[in-house]
């Protein structure tokens, strides 16, 4: 009887704590997303690299360096953030206004980016163009 009671208590505690953990995880998502794109807009790799998985940071910084020489961002606006049910992944929709440095024509591109919660942090893991012209170097995949 005591064993059954302990099992029920453990099960109840596990079920009750999961939504709280998800809420805490999601509370860190929006600030991470906003910080990453604000720093990306200014090509600030020193801060924005912290929101890219460690294994990809070097390649990200290389891409950012090339992009800084080719394009300017007018604005990067977060349209919506949609977390999945597990609170371990989210899709972020962005509207990006940009121009190539040798062109000076403003382009508007709609981008969907995938963010994943790994360890204790949110990371931008991939992005794709949904509508509009492709942004050179960034969000190509």
Write down the residue that tokens 């940071």 correspond to. 57
Instruction: Please check whether residue 137 lies inside any domain of the structure.
Output: no
Q: What is the pLDDT of residue 23?
A: 76
The string of DSSP codes covering 17-80 is HHHHHHHHHHHTHHHHHHHHHHHHHTT-HHHHGGGS-GGGHHHHHHHHHHHHHHEEEEEEEEEE
Q: Which domain holds residue 48?
A: 2-131
pLDDT tens-digit series, residues 25-75: 889 999 999 999 999 999 999 999 999 999 999 999 999 999 999 999 999
Query: Residue range 89-99: average pLDDT?
Result: 97
And the tokens for 122? Answer: 């949110």
Q: What is the CATH number of the domain that holds 29?
A: 3.10.450.50
Q: What is the pLDDT of residue 104?
A: 84
Does pLDDT of 15 surpass 60?
no
Quick check: 72 and 101 in contact, CB under 8 A?
Answer: yes
Instruction: Please check whether residue 141 lies inside any domain of the structure.
Output: no
Quick check: 83 and 26 in contact, CB under 8 A?
Answer: yes
Q: What is the pLDDT of residue 137?
A: 78
Instruction: Please check whether residue 140 lies inside any domain of the structure.
Output: no
Instruction: Please check whether residue 25 lies inside any domain of the structure.
Output: yes
Instruction: Please check whether residue 63 lies inside any domain of the structure.
Output: yes
Instruction: Please check whether residue 125 lies inside any domain of the structure.
Output: yes
Backbone angles phi, psi at 106, to 5 degrees: -75, 130
What is the tally of structural domains in the chain? 1
Does pLDDT of 81 surpass 80?
yes
pTM for the full predicted model: 0.81
């Amino acid at each position: 009887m005591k064993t059954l009671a302990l099992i029920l208590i453990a099960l109840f505690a596990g079920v009750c704590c999961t939504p709280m953990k998800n809420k805490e995880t999601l509370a860190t998502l929006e600030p991470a997303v906003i910080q990453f794109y604000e720093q990306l807009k200014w090509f600030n790799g020193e801060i924005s690299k912290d929101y890219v998985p460690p294994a990809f940071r070097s390649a990200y910084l290389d891409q950012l360096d090339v992009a800084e020489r080719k394009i300017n961002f007018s604005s990067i606006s977060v349209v919506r953030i949609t977390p999945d049910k597990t609170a371990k992944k989210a899709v972020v929709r962005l509207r990006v206004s940009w121009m190539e440095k040798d062109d000076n024509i403003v382009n508007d591109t709609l981008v969907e980016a995938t963010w994943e919660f790994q360890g204790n942090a949110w990371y931008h893991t991939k992005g794709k163009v949904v509508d509009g012209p492709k942004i050179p170097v960034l969000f190509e995949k």
